[in-house]
Structure 1
């Protein structure tokens, strides 16, 4: 079936030929002096056929077609030279333009709906989502793509909602699914050790890889003296290389932190180097030189550099983080070899704390997967989609920011989520922010909440010209003169206030080369195609804390009978006491038990019922020193009496 465009083109061409023929006939008849009123047009075809061999007729027909061509050329020039709209001609995209820009692909990144069909971007470029908080980015972009993207994904999962709703479906599709949440208190998390990707037996590789990780952890500041960051990198590299050479030590960032905080590293690190040499352990020269450089400064300089390192690694003071980064359960280099789903889970209250770990993980993800092109390794057949919700809250990550310009060639597609472009500029500066935005082939914008964001978006949508009429009335005595003037005026396609009042069901899609698209958001929970894919997530194995991070055993209670509540206090007891269990006796000892998370954190509130003063009178506020002393003596005496055997 011919398309509508082809039919229109064919009809236009046929009409142009008919018009040119009509003009040629008029010119020929006039030249042959046969043009007169009352001519019978029905006999023209037979007349032309009869005189088809007449040279005079042929000559005049040729002249007629030339005149028709000249008229057509002049008309075309007039059309082309028509003045463009003074203020532009902004409008929304048509369906033909949408389909021509790979936004109706069968597979790709789902953006929304337009005309009852999915807007699916099938290109290899990145997608930038600008959406304020609580605007539906999870239900409209993140979850639909996790329920549709067939290859590997890495997703920053605030509140674990994406894991709860999509991990079961992705696992049922044959994928490995991992949830990494280093601050979970129950140990149910996958583990990721940034140093596990280093071959600790290769001293050259150790230094090379530690340099990359050190640059990620201690980037040079845009302003200020880079000395402290560079010195911190030296200390980190030297200490890490020493640990790598000691087989009995765990090769983890937590171990580096412990070595930096135990004792005085300014004296202990050189001693450890000497002991290693005495024991026959061969340390690399870069390791020895880095430790010597790190510890050779003045006490004040060393203390400042050390604090620079430990402050950046202070999260590894947390036993949960130390345990979650002690070993790797997954290999990020396999994301392009087999289909995997990696969820970076975090609760909102822990986002700021865990950001350095996720910042490092994502930077290392980019570094590890941009060493080999898919064309160089036939096993790298899987595409990877990175859904980076709250991208700015991860902090400054130059490895990720710089990768926007080249990582698409390695099979990676990034989908960062920001609240506005001003966030990127504030974090990375104008140049880097512009590079990130420019390298995103599609931008999706939800209803903005801030006026500055709305103004910027309105400017980008463009303006169009319209004719405005103004009427005036001039009165001269008894005479009135009315006049009307018409002028070109400018109007934004959508003004800032219109953008801020745009329906929360609507969204805008911006793609270079075509006008903006006004589309509808998705709501996965209203769409059967997504609802039937919701499955229960898999169970996660719990991992115990490492030995060095386990809490000490609780101290036993003193021997003797427990303190009894006074008779006049029993009315204050709210909850009834359970009956004694037959066969059990009260020994007066506190039973051994596992410490709770609250006790480990040190924030334990002693209930009021546990503070029994019996008949001892508590001094009132402002009591004299003698009254306070008497109160303390009574407490000591009673405690001493109760410890004596009955």
Structure 2
């Protein structure tokens, strides 16, 4: 509007200058009659432009008349030449840009939705094997709008960390009966446990070379024996770790299998029945009356065992040399190593845990070839006890699955890692975002704050995971520091700031200046005050195009009403036919009693 006004002023000024110039060059006296004569001459000049008979003074009048317009054009071009967005060009993404980011509205992991009316939603989804990070305090709806909707919609295999058991209770039955998943529950202290995990099971290690077995033993030892922060290289912890690798390697070479429960008892085990020859005689005494050899209760069978292993040529030299060192170790030092070992391995001495790790009830590749829902349910009070076991399970599983590439979306494995930081430091998890694309693993990291990640992983690791994840879903936050960090990541947009100054004669003199300035598209305060039903979605490579979306609460969708009421039926108690019939009866009952929408999984396309 300001440009149009200035143009009109310049046109009027040019007309006035044109008339005055004609009166000057043609010596016309200023009067009403003179003005009329000047207008007549001005029209004739315009009509005869290009005529050779037209005198120079006619062109001079035109030149002076055009000066205001020339000045206006120059200033207009200068204003337009000012680069747009020189302080930033952040803005919210539109629907076309959302699809250009590699997202879709049809299939894959659900982040949120766009409400298109009372009964119409577009679900913002990704079917790419890329990682997602969600940082939100308790009560913001991250479980009800992210974890549960994905468990009710993704037919592929899912591995779920479930501290409270809420995800198992609300989704296991639906995934079993509607998405036709095999359901496994790993909850060692729960009588309903249906999954068994033994990383040293014969079917896991039978094809491994010694080098691979040693790598496995060292990997698991490194997961169990973790020193306190600042004491990671404690002598006793490292020595106990070495002892674990020794016993594990010996058992794998000698017997072809072992268990974590057996390894927990290894330093305290009675080896009398495993001793042979001279090493057996070391633990025997001759009866004075009968002359027969019988066990000497005063002799420690462990030392004889070490000597026997040290001279067993069927065992690899690395194991034999370690046994030789233990056979001559100082008693006090060895006792301290055993004490440290027992402290870290105590969890595997629990009968319920020992049963849960007694065998291997699944193959890692089953997660790709079949559709399996694996729920890892650990109660809060058991967290410190079982955390090492869960770390072993996740690390063994993920590292094995990262050895075989997979680009088939039907064989993707979704890892819903709710409150993953509470299970202790798992460095391999930080590597997942950089590696998962080629192997079809799709990790979803869920935690309450960046401070939680810093506590267990350190500040540098927080920067790594934030830089490597492909997607971030931002709920309302309570931490100003976290909100400010995200605000800076999104960046600024350029806006014009107009200032007006006036002199003493306000009506006759004023100065208007326009300056560009950068301003945060989403301020820290916006994030701290974000409504409960709104989220921002950030996509790697498009951080300056955040998606403003709606929270997708699962219980507000007709497709899923009553989904949490479908119970999980253990396979051993019901035939598949009974399970299917029971599911149909439950759906019918829910329709009659609750008058809810009929259960029909429609792939959750936008409707």
Same fold (TM over 0.5): yes
Q: CA deviation at 1:381?
A: 6.3
CA distance in 2, matches of 1:261, 1:473: 92
The verdict on how the C-alpha distance between 1:322 and 1:439 changes in structure 2, with shifts beyond 3 A counting, is same
Q: Which residue of structure 1 aligns with residue 169 of structure 2?
A: 164
CA distance in 1, matches of 2:102, 2:429: 26
The verdict on how the C-alpha distance between 1:118 and 1:451 changes in structure 2, with shifts beyond 3 A counting, is same
2:104 corresponds to 1:104: yes
2:93 corresponds to 1:88: no
Corresponding residue to 2:422 among 372, 390, 393: 393
Aligned Cα root-mean-square deviation (Å): 3.9
Any residues of structure 2 matched to 1:365-444 within 5 Å, and which? 365-374=397-406, 382-444=411-473
Where structure 2 has 5 or more consecutive residues not aligned to the other structure, the ranges are 1-44, 50-73, 116-120, 273-298, 574-607
- Local SS of the residue matching 2:155: coil
Give the number of equivalent residue pairs.
Answer: 467
Q: Which residue of structure 2 aligns with residue 216 of structure 1?
A: 223
2:181 corresponds to 1:175: yes
Q: Which residue of structure 1 aligns with residue 323 of structure 2?
A: 291
2:266 corresponds to 1:259: yes
Corresponding residue to 1:524 among 539, 549, 554: 554
Q: Is the 8 A contact 2:306 2:326 kept in 1?
A: no
Q: CA deviation at 1:517?
A: 0.8
- Local SS of the residue matching 2:570: coil
Q: 1:342-380, CA deviations, whole angstroms, 9 ceiling, x for partnerless residues? A: 0001222223332211111110011211222238xx9x9
Q: CA deviation at 1:508?
A: 0.8
Corresponding residue to 1:235 among 243, 248, 254: 243
The verdict on how the C-alpha distance between 1:405 and 1:368 changes in structure 2, with shifts beyond 3 A counting, is same
The verdict on how the C-alpha distance between 1:118 and 1:231 changes in structure 2, with shifts beyond 3 A counting, is same
Q: Is the 8 A contact 1:105 1:122 kept in 2?
A: no
Q: CA deviation at 1:38?
A: 12
Q: Is the 8 A contact 1:187 1:320 kept in 2?
A: no
Q: CA deviation at 1:409?
A: 0.8
Q: CA deviation at 1:414?
A: 0.7
- Local SS of the residue matching 2:261: helix
- Local SS of the residue matching 1:154: strand
- Local SS of the residue matching 1:374: coil
The verdict on how the C-alpha distance between 1:242 and 1:105 changes in structure 2, with shifts beyond 3 A counting, is same
CA distance in 2, matches of 1:296, 1:137: 57
Q: Which residue of structure 2 aligns with residue 635 of structure 1?
A: none
Q: Is the 8 A contact 1:192 1:329 kept in 2?
A: yes
Q: Which residue of structure 2 aligns with residue 147 of structure 1?
A: 152
CA distance in 2, matches of 1:267, 1:133: 54
Where structure 1 has 5 or more consecutive residues not aligned to the other structure, the ranges are 1-34, 40-73, 543-646
Q: Is the 8 A contact 2:223 2:388 kept in 1?
A: no
Any residues of structure 2 matched to 1:225-374 within 5 Å, and which? 225=233, 227-244=235-252, 247=255, 251-261=258-268, 268-274=301-307, 282-294=314-326, 296-374=328-406
Q: CA deviation at 1:413?
A: 0.8
CA distance in 1, matches of 2:143, 2:374: 17
Corresponding residue to 2:141 among 136, 141, 149: 136
Q: Which residue of structure 1 aligns with residue 534 of structure 2?
A: 506
Q: CA deviation at 1:37?
A: 5.5
CA distance in 1, matches of 2:510, 2:80: 36
Q: CA deviation at 1:533?
A: 4.3
- Local SS of the residue matching 2:223: helix
Q: CA deviation at 1:395?
A: 1.0
The verdict on how the C-alpha distance between 1:267 and 1:430 changes in structure 2, with shifts beyond 3 A counting, is farther
Q: Which has the higher contact order (CA 8 A, sep 6+)?
A: 2
2:488 corresponds to 1:466: no
The verdict on how the C-alpha distance between 1:201 and 1:37 changes in structure 2, with shifts beyond 3 A counting, is closer
Q: Is the 8 A contact 1:245 1:281 kept in 2?
A: no
CA distance in 2, matches of 1:416, 1:284: 41
Q: Which residue of structure 2 aligns with residue 563 of structure 1?
A: none
Q: Is the 8 A contact 1:167 1:538 kept in 2?
A: no
The verdict on how the C-alpha distance between 1:465 and 1:404 changes in structure 2, with shifts beyond 3 A counting, is closer
Q: CA deviation at 1:427?
A: 2.9
